[in-house]
């Protein structure tokens, strides 16, 4: 699995610590991590939590990555920004039990973490335990196990509802504020990571156009 990490400006100083915790936990499981920044408080390319949502949607809908780890001070804004878009099902995760139940019950493809609220002593340990429970085994298996059939049915229903209530990603990229979009995809390593892994030629073309 390809996993992207995206940090917004208010919590950019924690990127290195979060990235290290993520890599240490998931790479032994066979997953690959791509750090899309921000790369620190001094990173000249600033991302807002809204742009985190835009970037997450581009990466997931183009299949450049399979999963997105993001967040903000409380995690709420990043979660809302992600869930605005089609093809993104983002949960708000605070602790390892949240991570496990979101993976098993909701079977999403992104999480938003609170990187300020409650982020105190032992925070890096909590992150490692969250990532462990999020990515161990196969997701969508239900919790408790006797609820697996209705939970999987509800997930399929939600996926179908999102198809009706959301525009497709290509239309969004055409109509969204182009400066906001350009800011979301202008990070230091975006082009290096994205074009090597993008599997949707139309989304890639739209991004090349906005960056031209």
Spatial CB neighbours of 124, under 8 Å, sequence gap ≥ 6: 17, 20, 21
Domains along the chain?
2-211 (3.40.1400.10)
CB 102 within 8 Å of CB 138: no
% residues pLDDT > 90 (the chain):
97
What pLDDT was estimated at residue 139? Answer: 94
**With 90 as the cut, is the pLDDT of residue 116 above it?**
yes
- What pLDDT is stored for residue 121 in this prediction? 93
Q: What's the pLDDT score for residue 82?
A: 98
- Which residue intervals of 37-109 are DSSP H helices? 49-61, 76-83, 96-101
- In this predicted structure, what is the pLDDT of residue 188? 95
Contact 24, 52 (CB under 8 A): no
182-195 pLDDT tens trace: 999 999 999 999 99
Q: What is the pLDDT of residues 65-95, one digit of tens each?
A: 999 999 999 999 999 999 999 999 999 999 9
Show the beta-strand stretches assigned E in the chain: 2-5, 32-35, 67-72, 90-92, 110-114
Average the pLDDT over 98-102 and give the result: 98
Query: How does residue 50 score in pLDDT terms, banded at 50, 70 and 90?
Result: very high
In 3D space, the residue among 125, 137, 139 whose CA is nearest the CA of residue 24 turns out to be 125
Of the pLDDT bands very low, low, confident and very high (cuts 50, 70, 90), residue 145 is confident
pLDDT at 33: 98
Q: What is the pTM of this model?
A: 0.95
Average pLDDT over residues 160-186: 95
């Amino acid at each position: 699995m390809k996993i992207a990490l995206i940090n917004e400006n208010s919590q950019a100083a924690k990127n290195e610590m979060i990235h290290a915790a993520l890599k240490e936990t998931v790479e032994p499981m066979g997953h690959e991590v791509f750090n899309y920044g921000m790369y620190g408080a001094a990173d000249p390319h600033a991302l807002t939590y809204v742009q985190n949502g835009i970037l997450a949607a581009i990466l997931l809908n183009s299949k450049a990555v399979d999963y997105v780890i993001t967040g903000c001070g409380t995690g709420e804004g990043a979660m809302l920004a992600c869930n605005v878009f089609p093809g993104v099902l983002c949960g708000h995760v605070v602790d390892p039990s949240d991570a496990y139940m979101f993976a098993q019950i909701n079977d999403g493809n992104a999480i938003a973490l609170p990187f300020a609220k409650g982020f105190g002593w032992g925070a890096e340990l909590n992150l490692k335990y969250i990532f462990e429970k999020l990515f161990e085994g196969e997701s969508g298996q239900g919790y408790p196990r006797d609820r697996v059939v209705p939970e999987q049915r509800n997930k399929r229903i939600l996926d179908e509802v999102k198809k009706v209530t959301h525009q497709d990603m290509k239309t969004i990229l055409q109509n969204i504020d182009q400066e906001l979009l350009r800011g979301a995809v202008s990070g230091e390593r975006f082009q290096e990571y994205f074009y090597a892994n993008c599997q949707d030629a139309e989304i890639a073309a739209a991004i090349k156009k906005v960056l031209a």
